[in-house]
């Protein structure tokens, strides 16, 4: 396993999967895997360098898993975490995102974790501050740490990513998770089946990355290329739909919902993932979610590991 000692990813910030080389991705995954070990020496080394430094979570959209796991990750590294309460901040007095970030940096923040509804928000901040910026989700664009923890989960289960078939089912058009995962997993040698209704998965989305196919029939997509090893279900992003693009949740469940029967169309050893929050009985049945095929809670437990690895590797440059 790689250690964070004398290692760093090339970029100053973590803004998108597109900016990471395969070597960067491998380093992050190996570092996170090392942190998972009991009494991890690499985690202790990272904490000795990052202890006492300040991370500020700037979340302009709701979050449970991402924000909490950044807090836990920072805590394991001995860092101080401040959660900016957007509802009571000067944003409501007209202060811009960029001005808010500059103010927080002037107060001593060394890491900014930003989630915002506008695509490109984290990039804008990163270009105008000197502290580290981590994109925790920007509109429909990117969610790099989610894709990294998904890749770690897949690698833990199968021991590899190269050669696997990954099906992503649902509202691909509005999903930053789907974009980030498609770019990352194909870079590591997987092939991707994007599955969903035409309004949510336009044919043009096959151009997201090499080795990507689009399917509008669930069974065809799951059975393609010998069967999907991984089936990742996505939440319907209703808050991003300006007008309804599917008749009802019940109709979506009937056509694209994954359950104990439809998972049989995938590979015999297929596992189920979901970035959360899960709408039980819509994109994923309760029975399948709670079954041995489901690694959704493993994804959650890998969140702090990946985010601690990212913090350690970004912080290494200033160590």
Same domain (yes/no): 170, 267 = yes
Same domain (yes/no): 133, 263 = no
Tell me whether residue 11 is in a domain. no
Q: 């069967």: which residue's tokens? A: 227
Same domain (yes/no): 154, 73 = no
Tell me whether residue 115 is in a domain. yes
The 10s digit of each residue's pLDDT in 42-95 is 999 999 999 999 999 999 998 999 999 999 999 999 999 999 987 667 666 678
Looking at the structure of the chain, the number of domains it has is 2
Same domain (yes/no): 307, 210 = no
Same domain (yes/no): 126, 216 = no
Q: Is the dihedral of CA 135, 143, 66, 86 positive or negative?
A: positive
Chunked mean pLDDT (size 10), the chain, 319 residues:
59 96 96 88 92 96 93 98 81 82 97 96 98 97 98 99 98 95 98 96 95 98 98 80 70 95 98 96 97 98 98 80
Same domain (yes/no): 180, 115 = no
pLDDT of residue 77: 97
The token duo for 121 is 């928000």
pLDDT of residue 3: 45
Same domain (yes/no): 199, 248 = yes
Tell me which residue range forms the domain holding 152. 144-299
**Domain of 279: which CATH number?**
3.40.50.1370
Tell me whether residue 4 is in a domain. no
Tell me whether residue 1 is in a domain. no
Tell me whether residue 8 is in a domain. no
Same domain (yes/no): 110, 223 = no
CA–CA dist 96, 86 (Å, integer): 12
Q: 């990163």: which residue's tokens? A: 126
pLDDT of residue 241: 52
Same domain (yes/no): 121, 109 = yes
CA–CA dist 225, 270 (Å, integer): 13
Tell me whether residue 38 is in a domain. yes
Same domain (yes/no): 53, 102 = yes
Same domain (yes/no): 174, 278 = yes
pLDDT of residue 201: 96
pLDDT of residue 8: 77
The 10s digit of each residue's pLDDT in 84-128 is 987 667 666 678 999 999 999 999 999 999 999 999 999 999 999
CA–CA dist 141, 118 (Å, integer): 9
């Amino acid at each position: 396993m790689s250690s964070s000692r004398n290692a760093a990813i090339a970029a100053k910030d973590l803004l998108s999967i597109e900016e990471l080389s395969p070597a960067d991705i491998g380093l992050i995954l190996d570092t996170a895997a090392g942190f998972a070990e009991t009494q991890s020496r690499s985690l202790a080394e990272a904490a000795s360098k990052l202890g006492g430094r300040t991370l500020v979570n700037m979340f302009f959209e709701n979050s449970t898993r991402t924000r909490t796991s950044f807090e836990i990750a920072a805590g394991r590294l001995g860092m101080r975490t401040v959660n900016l309460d957007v509802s009571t901040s000067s944003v409501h007095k007209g202060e811009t995102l960029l001005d808010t970030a500059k103010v927080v940096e002037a107060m001593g923040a060394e890491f900014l974790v930003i989630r915002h509804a506008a695509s490109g928000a984290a990039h804008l901040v990163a270009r105008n501050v000197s502290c580290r910026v981590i994109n925790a989700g920007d509109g429909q664009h990117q969610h790099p740490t989610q894709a990294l923890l998904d890749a770690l989960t897949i690698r833990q289960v199968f021991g590899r990513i190269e050669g696997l078939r990954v099906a992503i089912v649902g509202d691909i058009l509005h999903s930053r998770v789907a974009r980030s995962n498609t770019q990352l997993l194909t870079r590591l040698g997987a092939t991707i089946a994007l599955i969903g209704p035409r309004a949510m998965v336009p044919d043009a989305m096959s151009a997201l990355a090499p080795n990507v196919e689009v399917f509008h029939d669930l069974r065809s997509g799951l059975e393609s290329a010998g069967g999907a090893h991984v089936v990742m279900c996505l939440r319907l992003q209703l808050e991003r739909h300006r007008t309804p693009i599917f008749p009802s949740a019940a109709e979506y469940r009937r056509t694209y919902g994954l359950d104990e029967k439809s998972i049989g169309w995938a590979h015999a050893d297929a596992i189920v993932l979901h970035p959360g929050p899960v709408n039980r009985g819509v994109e994923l049945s309760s029975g399948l979610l709670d079954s041995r095929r489901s690694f959704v809670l493993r994804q959650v437990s890998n969140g702090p590991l990946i985010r601690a690895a990212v913090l350690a590797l970004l912080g290494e440059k200033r160590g």
